[in-house]
Copies of this chain bind each other. A is one copy, B any other.
Amino acid sequence: MRKSGSTEVFTSLDDFYQRGDQVYLPHLSVDCAIFGFHENQLRVLLLKWKGGKWCLPGGFIKHKESVDTAAHRILQERTGLTDLYLKQFYVFGDPKREKEKKNSPHWIGKRFISIGYYALVEFSKVQPHPDVFSEACEWFDIDEVPGLIYDHKAIMMKALEALRFDLNDHPVGLNLLPKKFTMPELQRLYETILGESIDRRNFQKHMLSMDILIRLEERKTGGAHKAPYLYQFDKRKYMLALRQGLKLGW
């Protein structure tokens, strides 16, 4: 059994089990690893089934809907965000991937092949919404993710791997950080994604040499110690650099 997004076309949950395949493609689902960055940590948004395990937000594809649109719809339902960075990264097609599933006669009890997406969101803008199958929707530090249903842990790890890979030529920083951020924050983002530490001074030199950052006059106050400058991305130069193949990674 799986979670769905909007059930408004159905009169009841039972109706959804009975007639779901009239609306959705059978045997196919979309699962999303939604990444955010908060308090210098990479986080992932998880759902908790009523009385059950945690899982990645997911849903199904309508009969005449593109897979990308389905993923956007699902993400919008879970986060409230319409404008987020979304990337398909892998298909999970092992017939035994849904270990705990009991073979029910419903369409939803059958085997599902899942198309994996990862999303990058600005943490502070997200309003987590549980779906009808869930009792909670919360952020988890990626190092503290609990046991997940089915192969969702593997999906999440693969998403993280894809993210690490994409750091070079996809707008990761731009989509995870707030408008204004400090150099140390940007560095922590890289470090948490790559899982390694980077020399502070070399990092700054490297980032500035790309000419995609604008240093503001402001500094970030409040913290102890010396107040760091605030930066923002020069979005035009950033996207141009990506198109021209500049490596934004480490």
Contacts and interface: CB of A to CB of B under 8 A. Distances in A.
Interface in A58-115: 61, 63-68, 70, 88, 90-91, 93-95, 111, 113, 115
A67 B93 contact: yes
Given A90-B88, A91-B88, A91-B91, A113 B67 contact: yes
Contacts of A26: 26-27
A58 to B, nearest CB: 15
Given A26-B26, A28-B28, A93 B113 contact: no
Contacts of A63: 111
Given A26-B27, A27-B27, A28-B28, A93 B111 contact: no
Contacts of A70: 93
A171 B225 CA distance: 49
Interface in A26-77: 26-28, 61, 63-68, 70
B94 A66 contact: yes
Nearest to A117: B91
Contact of A115 (B25, B65, B68, B91): B91
A14 B90 CA distance: 34
28 contacts: A25-B27, A25-B111, A25-B113, A26-B26, A26-B27, A27-B27, A27-B28, A28-B28, A28-B113, A61-B93, A61-B113, A63-B111, A64-B95, A64-B111, A66-B93, A66-B94, A66-B95, A67-B91, A67-B94, A67-B113, A68-B93, A68-B94, A70-B93, A88-B90, A88-B91, A91-B91, A91-B115, A93-B115
Closest 10 CB pairs of A and B: A67-B93, A66-B94, A25-B27, A64-B95, A91-B115, A66-B93, A66-B95, A91-B91, A88-B91, A67-B91
